[in-house]
Amino acid sequence: MEKFEVNILGCGSALPTMRHQMTSQVVNLREKLFMIDCAEGTQLQMRRQNLSFSRLGHVFISHLHGDHCLGLTGMISTFSLLGRVAPLHIYSPGDDLERLLRPHLDFFCHGISFDVIFHSFSPCQSEVIYDDRTVSVRTLPLRHRMPCCGFLFSEKPTLPHIRREMIDFLKIPYYAINAIKSGAGWTDVDGREWKHEELVFAADAPRRYAYCSDTMPVDGNIPLLEDVDVLFHEATFSNDAASRAKETGHSTAAQAAEMAKKCHAKRLIIGHFSSRYPDETVLKDEASLIFPHVVLAKEGLKIEV
């Protein structure tokens, strides 16, 4: 299977600890990198995890709290110092990010070597905001103290695989393989026609990854997340702090697990931990009582989707 990997750069909430960096992730899909949120120190985490700066072309910002976007100016400055020429696309709810960040770029990154292109979207509805031949990215409206969206990465279906034994048996030339994958049949040297279905087998099912942070549970997203391969859902608090979670627009570990259960996710990653928990195992234990396939986020974690 082609690579579809999630790299956790930071999984802590707004108060950093010695254990965790603040929020950022990189999705690696077939060696094309997409960043979700960009907290302070994100570029250092990319270095530590040997993620290529040059392959990062798109950054998706969930909301404008500082622990999700204050790493942008420093990262953009570094890209310019390294001589980047490819444009960088940044997506965020509404127009406020460009209004706030442009003066910083004009002052601290004056004369940068590439274009920074801002794309705004509505935080109130789900829509596709990025689409290419391998992946689409859809927004997931969330409930927080300010406009906020999650993101659903959906891999595009690939062509079926041609059967190796049929290539050898029928002596199919290399130039004909893509045509057969695309639906053509083949006529052998004796004039017999072989149907497309006899020559190929189905490709792997397209995979999906969903990111939901910062937010209270949003049942309206369940149809969009049905059967998602990997769901990242914030679990800032445990159930004994449920009132604090509601007050601050966050979720408990149990609520994150309920979301995974309702949408029939295959795996759940929980993160965005409050610094009040010296050992996040208590959050995993709480979630595991409801949904069995739970992973605690941590810096350096790589998840194959």
Q: Are residues 281 and 236 in the same domain?
A: yes
DSSP at 206:
P
Burial status of residue 266 (CB atoms within 10 A of its CB: 0-12, 13-18, 19 or more): middle
> What's this model's pTM, rounded to 2 decimal places?
0.91
Q: Are residues 184 and 196 in the same domain?
A: yes
Instruction: With CA atoms as reference, report the closest residue to 151 among 90, 224, 95, 212.
Output: 212
The SS3 of residue 89 is: strand
What is the pLDDT at residue 15?
Answer: 66
Q: Compute the Cα dihedral for 52, 55, 60, 64 and give only its sign.
A: positive
Q: Are residues 145 and 170 in the same domain?
A: no
Helix-helix angle 72-81:96-108, to 10 degrees: 40
Q: Are residues 80 and 196 in the same domain?
A: no
User: Whole-number mean pLDDT of the chain?
Assistant: 94
Question: pLDDT for 87-124, tens place per residue?
Answer: 999 999 999 999 999 999 999 988 899 999 999 999 99
d(C-alpha 44, C-alpha 36), whole Å: 15
pLDDT (mean) for 230-247? 96
* Number of independent structural domains in the chain: 2
Tell me whether residue 285 is one of the annotated catalytic residues: no
pLDDT (mean) for 224-243? 97
The last residue of a domain, from among 175, 201, 227: 201
Q: Are residues 80 and 192 in the same domain?
A: no
- 270: tokens are 């929980």
Give the domain range for residue 178. 161-201
Q: Are residues 153 and 210 in the same domain?
A: yes
Q: Are residues 145 and 60 in the same domain?
A: yes
Q: Are residues 250 and 177 in the same domain?
A: no
What is the pLDDT at residue 175?
Answer: 87
pLDDT at residue 1 above 80? no
d(C-alpha 293, C-alpha 36), whole Å: 23
> 190 versus 15: which is more confidently predicted?
190
Where does the pLDDT of residue 16 fall: very low under 50, low under 70, confident under 90, or very high at 90 and above?
A: low
Please tell me which residue in 37, 67, 214, 229 is annotated as part of the active site: 67
